[in-house]
Amino acid sequence: MNLRAYRSELQWTVVVVVLAVLAAVALWPRGQDQQQGPSAAPPPAERIDPQHRAAAALQACPAGTGGPTELAGTSLQCLADGGPVDLAEAASGGPTLINLWATWCVPCRTELPALQAYSTEPGAVRVLGVQVDSGAAEGLDLLRSLGVHFPNLHDGDDRARAALRSPNVLPVSYVVTASGEVRRIDPPVAFESPHEVRAAVERTLGGQ
């Protein structure tokens, strides 16, 4: 092989190698944490008629500053108006009960009214629902049919479950203490009465 042919073959070899590397980089799988971290923007809000939201008569989602560090940057959507809400800020400013639920969860349909009744009692801590694994429109319909009006957020891509390190079970509830500590209510069983909710909250707070 003469020198000119050798150089030509070498150049083509370099080109083939570079193209192979670029293709590998383009196809390299991105981790879930690279695609959507907790501080990334939430997915676009489901298009829901404002009258549909208003019919559920949900209370406005709470807003504050600070809150549990482990929940900071977890951006969800308020079911009442579709606006973005930071979960940590929503749970700031005092003890808060966070309840995760879904429309397909049968025990949730028993628990949500019990939580609603508890939320109206004197001395109750703030109750904040987080709908997961189901569409916002379906959630609004369920809350309206059950007469549930405490503030609720919609988690369209499991951000809250990831931040809370939630087990693969529903319903499940957490209590955020006045100091911002997040404590799971155990065992994760569905509440059937406001008395059960109060007892679980007081037990989890431990007198705090």
**CATH number, domain at 90?**
3.40.30.10
Domain presence at residue 2 = no
Q: Is residue 9 part of a domain?
A: no
Give 47's pLDDT tier (boundaries 50, 70, 90). Answer: confident
pLDDT digits (tens, 9 = 90+) for 63-73: 888 899 999 99
Query: Is 6 inside a domain boundary?
Result: no
High-pLDDT (> 90) share of the chain, %: 70
**Residue 36 is assigned to a structural domain of this protein:** no
The number of folded domains in the chain is 1
Its domain, for residue 133, covers 50-206
Q: Tens digit of pLDDT for each residue in 126-157?
A: 999 999 999 999 999 999 999 999 999 999 99
CA-nearest of 96, 36, 37, 41 to 63 is 96
Q: What is the mean pLDDT of the chain?
A: 85
Establish if 21 belongs to a structural domain.
no
Element (H, E) at 16: helix 3-27
Residue 23: other Cβ atoms inside 10 A: 10
39, part of any domain: no
* Per-residue model confidence (pLDDT) at position 60: 97
**What stretches of 135-179 show up as alpha helix (H) in DSSP?**
136-146, 159-164
Cα–Cα dist 135/112, whole Å: 17
